[in-house]
Structure 1
Amino acid sequence: MIGALDAPMEALRTLLAGKAARTPREPAGPRKAREGTKQEQVLAMLRRPEGATVAQIAEATGWAHHTVRGFFAGLKKRQGIEVQVLERVRQVGPNKEGARGSYTVYHLPA
């Protein structure tokens, strides 16, 4: 029974020996964002002269606010793109703490 596998195993060894060893792929460099994705939409909003707030981006994409901030962190970590603060508007409440309505406008450098 074991002898019946000798011929197929030898054929397989011959076939595999003829193939060249696989070479690792070279990195192609930074990826470009695909068009029409939510990520591309966020990048377009951040490139506007007036920038965008987390609330505006969350509304446009359907993401939660913490997801938008995580996307900003990922841009810096993976692609080296740092999102800049264009303006901070701070609403001050009666106890001198930030109140609802405070926001930050973010922008991508040109």
Structure 2
Amino acid sequence: MIGALDAPMEALRTLLAGKPARTQREPGAPRKPREGTKQETVLAMLRREEGATIAQICEATGWQQHTVRGFFAGLKKRQGIEVQVLERIRQVGPNKEGARGSYSIYRIAD
């Protein structure tokens, strides 16, 4: 029974041996940020001159609204990046959606 696994294990060892070893970084050295992440997408949207709404960020990332707001809070708390309200659009009155039609445009403070 043990002999049945010898050939597949040897094939696996051969595949793993051809893999390049991961490079180690110096202890205490800053990590290189990953590319193409949702967080990177949100930061790029917030750095635009026109800023971004929570709805736009939700559409780009697939996040819920509360996740986006939590991400904003985490930026300030962990990274010291302040997200400012660039403009608040209030839509109230006849033929408007009231609070549901209102939104804010956010941008990273310079």
Alpha carbons of structure 1 residues 103 and 79: separation in structure 2 relative to 1, 3 Å: same
Q: 2:49 maps to which residue? A: 49
Distance in 2 between the 1:73 and 1:32 partners?
23
Counterpart of 1:82 in structure 2: which amino acid? E
Q: CA deviation at 1:32?
A: 6.0
Q: 1:73 maps to which residue? A: 73
Counterpart of 1:67 in structure 2: which amino acid? T
Q: How does 1:88-99 map to 2 (within 5 A)?
A: 88-93=88-93, 98-99=98-99
Deviations 1:22-72 (A, max 9, x none): xxx64x46x664220000000000000000000000000000000000000
> Could you state the TM-score of these two structures normalised by the residue count of structure 2?
0.66
Structure 1 runs, 4 residues or longer, greater than 3 Å off = none
* Contact 1:53–1:106 under 8 Å retained in 2: yes
Q: Which has the larger radius of gyration?
A: 1
**Structure 2 unpaired stretches of 5+:** 1-26
Distance in 2 between the 1:33 and 1:51 partners?
23
Q: 1:36 maps to which residue? A: 36
Distance in 1 between the 2:90 and 2:56 partners?
17
Counterpart of 1:55 in structure 2: which amino acid? A
Q: 2:108 maps to which residue? A: 108
Distance in 2 between the 1:32 and 1:56 partners?
27
> Could you state the TM-score of these two structures normalised by the residue count of structure 1?
0.66
Percent identity over paired residues: 79
The alignment yields a C-alpha RMSD, in angstroms, of 2.1
